[in-house]
Chains A and B, each alone.
Chain A
C-alpha cells in the first residue's frame, strides 16, 4: 500500500513528467491554448497511459525481450486509435480542436517511457498507480500552462462554455502572443524558472 501511494505521488511531484522529466513536451506545448484542450488532452493521455501500463504489466512475464519495444508501440498505437475514433464519434468539437495531437499521443514519450521503464518491470497495482500519478502530473502541468496561456492570450477564462472570469484590461487588449506557439515556450520557460528559483527543482 505504501508502495502504491509512493508511486502515485512520484508522478505528481518528484518526477512530474512535464516539469521535471521534461517528457511529452510536444502535446504540452501544442494544445495548451485553452483549459478545455488541456482537460481533453489529459483525459486522452490518462486513458492511454493507464491502459498501456495495465496491458504491458500483465504481459510482462511472456513478452520476449527482443520484441518488447515493437509490442509496446503496437499496444499504444491501438489504444490511441481507439481514443481517436471514440472522440471523433462522441465529442467531435473537442476532437477537432485537439486535431493531430490525439494521433500523436502514440509518440508521446511519457507513455512509451512509463511502459518501458516501469510497467514492464512492476506489478499490476504498482503500474496502475504509476500511470495514475504520471497522468495526474501531466494533467496538472498542462492545465497550469494552458491557464496562463488562455488568461494572457484571450484575457478571460472559459471552461467548457462556462465563463469563469475575465481579467480587466487584458480582455480588451489580449496578448495574443501567448496563444501562438511562441507563448507556449515563454510560459513553460518562465514556469520552469520559477519552480527552480523556488527550489522545487534541484538544479544540476
Chain B
C-alpha cells in the first residue's frame, strides 16, 4: 500500500519485500468502519431503528467474543478494529427483523469458530461475516428467509413481508427504469445493508480512494456478473448487478485481505470465479442469491490459487530448463536450443529494470 511513494508498475505490493508505511491494521479497519457507516445509515433509513440495534448487538458480541477467545487462548487482546468490522458486516447481511438472540449466536460464531479457532486475524480461511451468515442461514432457515418491505421510517417497527428482488414471487409494478432507481437507492426488500447499491458504492469508493482496497476484485467481480448476465438470454445484466448483495460483497467482503489471493493474477482468478458462481447460483441454482456462497467458495480456493500463481521471489533467477525426457533429448534439440535464448533474453530485460 505504498504506491504513493513508489512507481506502481515497478513494485506491486504483495508478498515480501515490503516497504513500510504509516498505515496499519488498526487504521485500515477504522477506514472500513467509516465506509460501512453509509450502508448502515441506509439500513436504518429503510428498515427502521431496530436495524441499528442489530448492528450494535452484533458489534458488541463480536468484540466480547474476541476478548473471551483471546483470554481462552492465552493471547493478548488487541483492539485492532477487525472485530468491529466483522460485527458490522455480519449485521449488514442479516434480514432487517432478525431476532437479537440469533444475531448474538451468529456474531459469536463468526469470531469464535471462523476466526479465532483458526488462529485469529490473518489465519482465517473464510470471511468471518459471510461464514457466520451461512451458519445462521443453515441453522435458522426460516428466520433468514423472511424479508420485509422497506418501511422508510426510523421509528417504525412495522413489517410487511415481501420478497427480495432476486427471490421467487417478486413482481415489480413500475417500469424497468423505476426498478433500477429503486434498486440503486435501496427501496426494495433485502438484507439490512445490501439494498442500496449507491450507498455501498460511495463507501466502496472511499475505500478505493484511501487505498484500503484495490480496484481489481470489485471491478472484475461485478464485471463478470454483468458480462455473463448479458450473455445468457433472458437475464437483465443491470438488474443482476444492482440487485442482491453483489456490491456489498464485491467491495467489502471479497476484498478481505486475509481470505483473497495475494497476487494480482490470483485476484483476477478469484474475482472471476466468484462472478461465475454468482450467476450459476442465481440463474441455474435453486437459491435466489449467491453472493455469500460465491465468496465463501472462492475463499476455499484461495490457498490453491496462491500456490498456482506464486509470484517470483525477489531476485530470483529461474534455473535452466532441463528436458523432462532425457532419452528423447536428440529429437528435441531444437526446443532445447531455443529455450536458453529466451531465458537469457528475459533475464536481460529484468536486469535492465
Contact = CB atoms under 8 A, between A and B. Distances in A.
Contact of B143 (A173, A178, A182, A186): A173
A197 B135 contact: no
B78 interface: no
Nearest to A153: B139
A176 B139 contact: yes
A22 interface: no
A71 interface: no
B117 A175 contact: no
A203 B209 CA distance: 47
Given A186-B113, A193-B117, A197-B72, A177 B135 contact: yes
B194 to A, nearest CB: 22
B143 A176 contact: no
B121 interface: no
Interface of B: 72, 99, 101-102, 105, 113, 117, 135, 138-143
B64 to A, nearest CB: 18
Contacts of B140: 173, 175-176
Interface string A57-77: 000000000000000000000
18 contacts: A173-B99, A173-B102, A173-B140, A173-B143, A175-B105, A175-B139, A175-B140, A176-B138, A176-B139, A177-B138, A177-B139, A178-B139, A180-B138, A182-B138, A186-B113, A189-B117, A193-B117, A197-B72
The DSSP consensus for interface residues of chain B is: helix
A102 B299 CA distance: 36
Interface in A168-193: 169, 173, 175-178, 180, 182, 186, 189, 193
Contacts of A175: 105, 139-140
Given A186-B113, A193-B117, A176 B141 contact: yes
Interface of A: 169, 173, 175-178, 180, 182, 186, 189, 193, 197
The DSSP consensus for interface residues of chain A is: helix
B148 to A, nearest CB: 18
A183 to B, nearest CB: 9
Contacts of A197: 72
B20 to A, nearest CB: 36
Contacts of A169: 101
B187 to A, nearest CB: 30
A59 B101 CA distance: 59
A180 B139 CA distance: 9
Nearest to A169: B101
Contacts of B105: 175
Given A169-B101, A173-B140, 16 more contacts: A173-B99, A173-B102, A173-B142, A175-B105, A175-B139, A175-B140, A176-B138, A176-B139, A176-B140, A177-B135, A177-B139, A178-B139, A180-B138, A182-B138, A189-B117, A193-B117
A170 to B, nearest CB: 10
Nearest to B99: A173
Contacts of B142: 173
A173 B101 CA distance: 11
Q: List 3 A-B pairs, minimum CB-CB distance, nearest first.
A: A175-B139, A177-B139, A177-B138
A94 B257 CA distance: 49
A169 B139 CA distance: 14
A173 B142 CA distance: 9
A197 B68 CA distance: 14
Nearest to B135: A177
Nearest to A182: B138
B119 to A, nearest CB: 13
A175 B99 CA distance: 14
A169 B135 CA distance: 18
Contacts of A177: 135, 138-139
Contacts of A189: 117
A44 to B, nearest CB: 30
B134 to A, nearest CB: 9
A177 B142 CA distance: 12
Contacts of B99: 173
A175 B135 CA distance: 9
A84 to B, nearest CB: 32
Contacts of B141: 176
Q: B138, B139, B142 — which one has the most chain A CB atoms within 10 A of its CB?
A: B139
A197 B73 CA distance: 9
Nearest to A193: B117
A176 B138 CA distance: 7
A189 to B, nearest CB: 8
Contacts of B143: 173
A29 B135 CA distance: 18
Nearest to B112: A190
